[in-house]
């Protein structure tokens, strides 16, 4: 949070409120997370992770409530024989991330614009 410019240490710095506003969550959820009093719900964690530019998995681990062994990274397999992880297609990524069906085509088009062209 500090690395992203949120002043969470001073009581009047406004960093907690600014982070809460940027993420669209309640300030109390940010305060409770920082003080390790409670674990915000998953949607709150998703929003905070997005604003902070941190993968949700890392956010859950850094919160101290889950460990890396609780959230192992398991590559999906598509019949591959080597140990290289299979990359997700933009379509599959949209489904897994919960992009609403009516927005999936836009998500795929925008994502493909940023991907290198693999032949």
pLDDT for the residue numbered 9: 82
d(CA 88, CA 75): 10
For residues 90 and 65, the answer to whether their CB atoms sit within 8 Å is no
Q: Are 70 and 59 in contact (CB under 8 A)?
A: no
* pLDDT for res 102: 92
What per-residue confidence (pLDDT) applies to 77? 47
Mean pLDDT by 10 residues, the chain (119 residues): 83 83 89 80 86 85 77 57 64 85 90 69
Sign of CA dihedral 91, 94, 96, 102: negative
pLDDT of the residue at 119: 43
- For residue 73, the model assigns a pLDDT of 72
Determine the pLDDT at residue 83: 53
């Amino acid at each position: 949070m500090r690395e992203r410019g949120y002043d969470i240490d001073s009581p009047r710095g406004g960093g907690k409120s600014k982070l809460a506003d940027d993420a669209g969550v309640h300030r109390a959820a940010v305060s409770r997370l920082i003080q390790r009093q409670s674990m915000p719900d998953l949607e709150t964690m998703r929003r905070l992770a997005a604003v902070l530019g941190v993968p949700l998995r890392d956010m859950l681990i850094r919160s101290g409530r889950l460990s890396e062994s609780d959230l192992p990274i398991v590559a999906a397999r598509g019949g591959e024989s080597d140990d290289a992880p299979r990359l997700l297609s933009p379509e599959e990524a949209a489904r897994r991330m919960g992009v609403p069906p009516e927005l999936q085509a836009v998500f795929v088009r925008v994502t493909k614009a940023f991907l290198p062209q693999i032949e």
